[in-house]
């Protein structure tokens, strides 16, 4: 079974969710990205025991009002804080970039207070992100969601923090280079569905990409990336074993 460490299952209808849970091939972890999506992720967690994390994505930070108190109320059940970060594709002005940075700093504080790992969204802002993580003394593990950075970015991140690079289903030259350069212990897999790929079942495309670039057996990649995800999010192995059986009758 593969783990999709970053999917927006809350954006699917209930019939698909039930179908996915019965297939026993993918263990989804739901990512929040807005106040409404955080609430829905929590509801699915309570109903189906699916792990989730909550945050406000940087592109949402500049477009929607939100309160940090609305996020705090879910953190006792969440496995991480995310997705949060910087996205300079969408933040065009100094004011918008300041909004993203200010929010990210507050999320860093929350992660330290609640002792939770961070799931980070970063686009066109890796230098600024690394500077902020250093400046505010981040000590929490980080997962770089949909990592599109260079081998230099990956080296700087891995030299300073406990980090995983989450590989989505899109192939790029930089991504392939990072996969070849770093050991399998640095990787997990995701779909970012329904925005990058269409559903969690497509996570096997990510596994195939890693397998191809590292010349490793796909089943071994599936096994080891799953192990990395379990350790990062501190998931309970017994719950994962029982997950499909418990949900098949839901």
- pTM (2 d.p.): 0.95
Given a cut of 50, whether residue 248 has pLDDT beyond it is no
- What pLDDT sits at residue 202? 98
- What pLDDT sits at residue 118? 98
Place of tokens 């970015």: 153
Rounded-to-integer distance, Cα 1 and Cα 107, Å? 32
H-type alpha helices, the chain: 14-23, 35-48, 58-61, 68-72, 94-114, 126-135, 151-160, 173-181, 203-214, 218-233, 237-248
Given a cut of 50, whether residue 250 has pLDDT beyond it is no
pLDDT bucket at 151, cuts 50 / 70 / 90: very high
For the chain, what is the domain count? 1
Higher-scoring residue by pLDDT: 195, 241? 195
For the chain, give the percent of residues with pLDDT over 70. 97
Q: Averaged over 225-232, what is the pLDDT?
A: 97
What is the extent of the structural domain holding 121? 2-248
pLDDT bucket at 240, cuts 50 / 70 / 90: confident
Residues 7, 29 contacting (CB under 8 angstroms): yes
Q: What is the CA radius of gyration of the chain?
A: 17
Q: What is the CATH number of the domain that holds 53?
A: 3.20.20.140
Rounded-to-integer distance, Cα 49 and Cα 42, Å? 9
Sign of the C-alpha dihedral computed for residues 22, 187, 12 and 30 taken in this order: positive
Rounded-to-integer distance, Cα 158 and Cα 153, Å? 9
pLDDT bucket at 244, cuts 50 / 70 / 90: low
- What pLDDT sits at residue 249? 45
- What pLDDT sits at residue 230? 96
Rounded-to-integer distance, Cα 182 and Cα 217, Å? 17
- What pLDDT sits at residue 129? 98
pLDDT tens across 108-133, in order?
999 999 999 999 999 999 999 999 99
Given a cut of 90, whether residue 92 has pLDDT beyond it is yes
Q: Averaged over 229-248, what is the pLDDT?
A: 76
Residues 83, 123 contacting (CB under 8 angstroms): no
Residues 85, 111 contacting (CB under 8 angstroms): no
Retrieve residue 62's tokens: 């500049």
Rounded-to-integer distance, Cα 162 and Cα 238, Å? 25
Sign of the C-alpha dihedral computed for residues 82, 118, 204 and 248 taken in this order: negative
What is the chain's mean pLDDT, rounded? 95
Q: For residue 79, report the phi and psi dihedrals to the nearest 5 degrees.
A: -95, -5
Rounded-to-integer distance, Cα 105 and Cα 119, Å? 14
Rounded-to-integer distance, Cα 206 and Cα 166, Å? 9
CB atoms within 10 A of CB 78: 23
pLDDT tens across 14-65, in order?
999 999 998 888 999 999 999 999 999 999 999 999 999 999 999 999 999 9
Higher-scoring residue by pLDDT: 58, 239? 58
Q: How far is CA 215 from the centre of its chain?
A: 25
């Amino acid at each position: 079974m593969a783990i999709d460490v970053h999917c927006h299952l809350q954006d699917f209808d209930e019939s698909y969710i039930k179908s996915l849970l019965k297939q026993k091939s993918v263990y989804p972890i739901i990512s929040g990205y807005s106040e409404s999506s955080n609430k829905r992720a929590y509801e699915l967690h309570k109903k189906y025991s699916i792990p989730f994390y909550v945050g406000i994505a940087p592109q949402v930070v500049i477009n929607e009002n939100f309160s940090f108190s609305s996020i705090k109320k879910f953190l006792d059940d969440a496995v991480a804080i995310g997705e949060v970060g910087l996205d300079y594709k969408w933040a065009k002005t100094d004011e918008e970039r300041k909004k993203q940075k200010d929010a990210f700093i507050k999320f860093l504080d929350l992660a330290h207070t609640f002792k939770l790992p961070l799931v980070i969204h970063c686009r066109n802002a890796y230098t600024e992100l690394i500077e902020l993580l250093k400046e505010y003394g981040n000590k929490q593990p980080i997962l770089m969601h949909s990592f599109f950075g260079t081998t230099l970015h990956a080296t700087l991140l891995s030299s300073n923090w406990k980090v995983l690079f989450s590989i989505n289903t899109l192939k790029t030259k930089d991504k392939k280079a990072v996969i070849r350069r770093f050991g399998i212990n640095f990787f997990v897999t995701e779909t970012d569905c329904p925005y990058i790929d269409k559903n969690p079942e497509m996570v096997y495309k990510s596994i195939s990409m890693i397998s191809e670039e590292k010349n490793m057996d796909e089943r071994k990649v599936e096994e080891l990336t799953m192990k990395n995800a379990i350790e990062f999010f501190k998931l309970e192995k017994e719950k994962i074993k029982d997950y499909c059986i418990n949900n098949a009758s839901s």
